[in-house]
Amino acid sequence: MSKAKRISALPGDHNLQNYDQACRTFNFEELAREFYGDAAWVNVAHRVLEDNIARGLGDRVALYFDGDDRQETYTFNQLNQQVNRFANILEKHGLQRGDRLGLFLPRSPELYISFLGAAKKGVVVVPLFEAFMEDAVRERLQDSGARALVTTADLLPRVPRQHLPGLKTVFITRGAVADTDNTLDWHSEVTAASPVTRCCWLNREDPLFILYAAGADGRPKGLVHVHDIMLGLWYTSAWVHDLKDGDVYWCTADPGWITGIAYGFLAPWLHGVPVLVKGGRFDAAGWCRALEKYKVSVWYSAPTAWRMIIAAGREVYGQYDLSSVRHLLSVGEPLTGDVMQWCMETFGIPVYDTWWMSETGMNMICNLRCLDIKLGSIGRPVPGIKAAVVDDSGKELPPYHVGNLAVQRGWPAMARDVWGDRAKYEAYFKLAPWFISGDAAYMDEDGYFYFQGRVDGVINTAGERVGPWEVEEKLKEHPAVLDAGVAGKPDKIRGEIIKAYIVLQPGHQWSQQLKEELRSFVKNGLAAHAAPREFAVKENIPKTPDGQVDRKALRGWVLELGGVD
């Protein structure tokens, strides 16, 4: 149905050599015509599988999976067959276009197969980061109204099915399957299914996945991404990531987060580029070994990971041949000079920063290959994107004035809604035509942007986005805590760590034991990365006139700007 295109089909300047001209002439309608051809209906799963097979890439490796106890390789043909099988299973169990399927499992081939199998039938995926604990899992599955879930036996205890009456079917990809009617073994189901299926043709605006992203003062927002996200991923992965035939691509982000979905597999597969997925935990030597073993040529990762490799020392990373890497990109947190210097020394090339968000769905402001890098700057808007720094009334600010980092509405990868809460979605555009990111930034006279932190108190710890409100609510559930306020404190390795200010309930004393108890309490309820590393006891938590935690005052506390700890 849809016409397959190669990277070289990008309109105009294929390798983006002339930035100014590309910005002047860029037009999303033209890009859409190039990409979709005259196809009235689309489906991203079809696009990354059948379309690649149709252009002769069926026997090319799509996925190298390197797990702790399994190493597997899938060609596009093999992947497609597995995807079709799982798509048939979903249909057999009554899932229909628009129904939601939760994915709560570690990085494994089953995750990618399930994602695309759902997409092929128009079923909407709800990715859940594998480190989420019970409250976080319940919240997201309830809010999205998931009908089915793919998970593993060891993660299943964190899925409170008694609170999830709408969750009819659970597929287990690993471990023993409980003997109940609607808990099924993923592998035996898939093996028995037909490798052929009918693709569900969709509108570009049909939902593909709902990703929960932390906000400052409320529950995580279910950002609704649609199939049209592929248009944005297609051109940015060519222009920003410089993907080419013959590349092996590794994005280290987990598919529980936007980067691991958008660039972890969708973007490279739109170009037929093989992807490495590494299972297990971070391990500096293991990561370097993987670069060597799979001859990774384009590597997308985050400053915290690089800082951990640097900390492991030359005796670790120096053992491996890393010469296959020809392009490095960074995301999620400020790219610091030490990382840039290490990349120059180790790979002989700079690392290109990319700024974007769960909401934007694709890279927005980047250091592009055709532009000089200015250290400390996140770069310039990718062609098609108009970004600005605006004040609180939406007025554009001149160079060197810090304000709200904003992007003009209207690019294809933008989230289209907040699931079940249109008002929250519209709040992003309260200063129309601007999408207000929640980040602070300034611009220089050459149009380069400089990230200056969050405006709103959302915390970024080791590149993971944590909402202070969720952590505060959890802390307040503990009998020793009367009130809580949580903020990000600058940290050399992790960018930020979570610091909690608490007011104790009368009759409770602060102790090391209570600290450990509170840490575990948050860890076991939400996720390990959401647990505060530091605590301070206070008389009260500063509040705004409408009773919300005063994020600015807390920020002052963590930065010790006149506050006392």
**Interface with ligand PRX (CB under 6 A):** 213, 257-259, 331-334, 353-358, 378, 437-439, 451, 454, 460, 465
> Considering the complex, what minimum distance in angstroms separates the CB of residue 361 from ligand PRX?
9
> Considering the complex, what minimum distance in angstroms separates the CB of residue 220 from ligand PRX?
11
In the bound state with ligand PRX, the residue whose beta carbon lies nearer, of 118 and 302, is 302
> Considering the complex, what minimum distance in angstroms separates the CB of residue 355 from ligand PRX?
4
CA distances to 80, 172, 197, 258 from 86, rounded to whole Å, are 10, 13, 9, 23
CA distances to 6, 50, 77, 271, 469 from 56, rounded to whole Å, are 12, 10, 10, 12, 50
In the bound state with ligand PRX, the residue whose beta carbon lies nearer, of 122 and 381, is 381
> Considering the complex, what minimum distance in angstroms separates the CB of residue 375 from ligand PRX?
13
> Considering the complex, what minimum distance in angstroms separates the CB of residue 437 from ligand PRX?
6
In single-letter form, the type of residue at position 546 comes to D
CA distance from start to end of the chain: 63
d(CA 485, CA 501): 5
Give the number of other CB atoms < 10 A from CB of residue 195: 14
In the bound state with ligand PRX, the residue whose beta carbon lies nearer, of 253 and 309, is 253
> Considering the complex, what minimum distance in angstroms separates the CB of residue 379 from ligand PRX?
8
Nearest-CA neighbor of 120 among 39, 227, 242? 227
Give SS3 for 448. Answer: coil
Nearest-CA neighbor of 225 among 425, 437, 415? 415
Give SS3 for 246. Answer: coil
In the bound state with ligand PRX, the residue whose beta carbon lies nearer, of 109 and 361, is 361
Determine contact, residues 175/110, Cβ cutoff 8 Å.
Answer: no
In single-letter form, the type of residue at position 119 comes to A
Phi, psi of 274 (to 5 degrees): -65, 145
In the bound state with ligand PRX, the residue whose beta carbon lies nearer, of 167 and 407, is 407
In the bound state with ligand PRX, the residue whose beta carbon lies nearer, of 75 and 363, is 363
> Considering the complex, what minimum distance in angstroms separates the CB of residue 235 from ligand PRX?
17
In the bound state with ligand PRX, the residue whose beta carbon lies nearer, of 118 and 253, is 253
Determine contact, residues 214/474, Cβ cutoff 8 Å.
Answer: no
